[in-house]
Amino acid sequence: MTIEPVLIAELVALGICTGFLAGLLGIGGGMMMVPFITVILDHRGVPSNLAVKMAIATSMATIITTSISSVRAHHRRGAVRWDIVRRLSPGIVIGSLVASLGVFAVVKGTALAIFFALFVGFSATQMFLDKKPAALRQMPGIAGQLAAGSGIGFVSGLVGAGGGFMSVPFMTWCNVAIHSAVATSAALGFPIAVTNVIGYVAAGHAVQGLPEGSIGYIWLPALIVLAVSSFVTAPFGAKAAHSLPVGKLKRVFASILYALAAYMLWKGLHG
């Protein structure tokens, strides 16, 4: 599949926006990337079922570079809780492999689109209301963190997101300061992305009808452009998180997510 100039421009614009949001809000950008990549693939003749899966997988792959870029900026401010990253990562790897190698390989793309829409709609509501769970307890023990990490990795693998919409509330509930929770969530995006990408490549290596330039479910042309453009803007988002009215920006972003969730729901029901 040839990368024409119009496609490059579309992907660069998408990467710039999602990279900035990744740094600003502690998310991987997948909630914006997936619907737009689905549209781009649809317009290039990729069947809907396959387009949704490739959008989810490609979105997740871009989080590898976005996470690295965002974490560097947060780490310089001393905001990343690396002790939490180490304790949640084993569960994240387990949950991610179950999602990408197991469920993702057998479930239809239309069903994933519906699940994505419901998850994004719920996340948008939480963001719009700016609900923060009360800090009722400390981080759980080894078994609790293994279970929490597994859940975060599993759901992230099905929707192509970096897990911020689950990990940030979880850490806040466990008495982690919000800025540290956002920064740590960005760091957790790396093991989530790497593990799921391995699963997507393995699960999709024998799939027929993949567009040119694909490795498994990963669409390389989109990955390269999105990764570069989002890598550049993620540090600006991380810097802005310490000075902009993030609460107000979340409500604006939530409104956009509602529209994207509605599109993916329609796609799942009629794809």
The predicted structure's pLDDT at residue 12 = 92
- At 129-148, the pLDDT tens digits run 876 666 667 888 889 999 99
The predicted structure's pLDDT at residue 133 = 64
Q: 149, 22 in Cβ contact below 8 A?
A: no
- At 140-186, the pLDDT tens digits run 888 999 999 999 999 999 998 877 778 888 898 888 888 888 889 88
Q: What is the pTM of this model?
A: 0.86
SS3 of residue 133 by DSSP: coil
The predicted structure's pLDDT at residue 52 = 94
The predicted structure's pLDDT at residue 67 = 80
Higher per-residue confidence, 254 vs 91: 91
pLDDT > 70: percent of the chain = 93
Reduced DSSP (H G I as helix, E B as strand, rest coil) percent helix, strand, coil of the chain, to 5: 75, 0, 20
The predicted structure's pLDDT at residue 248 = 74
Q: What average pLDDT does the chain have?
A: 86
Rounded distance between C-alpha atoms, residue 67 and residue 26, angstroms: 9
Q: pLDDT tier at 60 (50, 70, 90 boundaries)?
A: very high
Rounded distance between C-alpha atoms, residue 171 and residue 92, angstroms: 15
Q: pLDDT tier at 15 (50, 70, 90 boundaries)?
A: confident
Side-chain-side CA neighbours of 85 within 13 Å: the count stands at 20
Higher per-residue confidence, 247 vs 7: 7
Backbone angles phi, psi at 161, to 5 degrees: -115, 165
The predicted structure's pLDDT at residue 26 = 58
- At 72-124, the pLDDT tens digits run 877 888 889 999 999 999 999 999 999 999 899 889 999 999 999 999 898 88
Please report, for the chain, the start and end positions of each structural domain, with discontinuous segments joined by +: 5-265
Q: 218, 116 in Cβ contact below 8 A?
A: no
* Angle (CA) 237 94 218, round 5°: 60
Q: 234, 243 in Cβ contact below 8 A?
A: no
The predicted structure's pLDDT at residue 271 = 64
Higher per-residue confidence, 64 vs 3: 64
